[in-house]
Amino acid sequence: MITEITVEQILAGYNDQAALSDAYTIPAPWYVDPRIAELERHTVFSKTWQVIGRVDQVEKPGQFVTATVAGEPMVAVRGNDDILRAFYNVCRHHAAAVVTEPCGQASILHCPYHGWNYGLDGSLKGMPEFDGVKNFERKDNGLVPVKVDTWETLVFVNLDPHAGSLQDFLGGLVTGKSLSITTSTAAITCRICTKA
């Protein structure tokens, strides 16, 4: 009988306290075991600042960019008040994706499933055929916000409502100019919004 190696055993297979001269590459399961990916999702990607787009994609009111962070659909959108906000891209009706394009510009966020409309500030504006529904407060059913910030050319979100600032997260990076940004953004280029 083959006994599956536990996550604890996988993690114990690497000594992160080893001196540099004794260091070695992390074990293969850290790259391929879905349990490690899930652990990372919960402990790293859902609690740290993650890039979801470029600042030039959300420069103007109504411009938005979508992405998935830690398995959660996100949308960042510039409001008419010029404030950049980010939300879970999940309709408060039946949880469909409200914004289905990778990026673009809109005057309102329109859920394609049953037509609920949200303002660029995430507030619920309209619900077709919803008249007469009791115990429903429109003001309590806007898109759920997440932390958003920018640095240099990049837009970041953080799913942890208690997270520290992006500036603290980046630490010394924010005081220096990193030429590597050019290569970092290549992976998140939106084919629709990319300027020629």
Name the residues that contact ligand FES, by CB under 6 A: 91, 93-94, 96, 111, 113-116
For the CB of residue 93, give the shortest distance to ligand FES in the complex, in Å: 3
Neighbours of 25 (CB within 10 A): 8
> Which one, 45 or 113, has the nearer CB to ligand FES?
113
For the CB of residue 11, give the shortest distance to ligand FES in the complex, in Å: 39
For the CB of residue 111, give the shortest distance to ligand FES in the complex, in Å: 3
Beta bridge partners of 26: none
CA 183 vs. chain centroid, Å, equals: 20
> Which one, 49 or 116, has the nearer CB to ligand FES?
116
Contacts of 180 (CB under 8 A, 6+ apart): none
Q: Rounded to an integer, what distance in angstroms lies between the CA atom of residue 130 and that of residue 137?
A: 12
For the CB of residue 94, give the shortest distance to ligand FES in the complex, in Å: 4
Q: What beta strand segments (E) does 70-153 contain?
A: 72-78, 84-88, 103-105, 109-110, 117-118, 124-126, 145-151
Q: Rounded to an integer, what distance in angstroms lies between the CA atom of residue 9 and that of residue 15?
A: 12
For the CB of residue 83, give the shortest distance to ligand FES in the complex, in Å: 24
> Which one, 113 or 169, has the nearer CB to ligand FES?
113
For the CB of residue 92, give the shortest distance to ligand FES in the complex, in Å: 8
> Which one, 115 or 142, has the nearer CB to ligand FES?
115
Q: Rounded to an integer, what distance in angstroms lies between the CA atom of residue 21 and that of residue 15?
A: 12
**Residue 149 buriedness (CB in 10 A; 0-12 / 13-18 / 19+):** middle
Joined tokens for residue 185: 């953004």
> Which one, 63 or 89, has the nearer CB to ligand FES?
89
> Which one, 14 or 113, has the nearer CB to ligand FES?
113
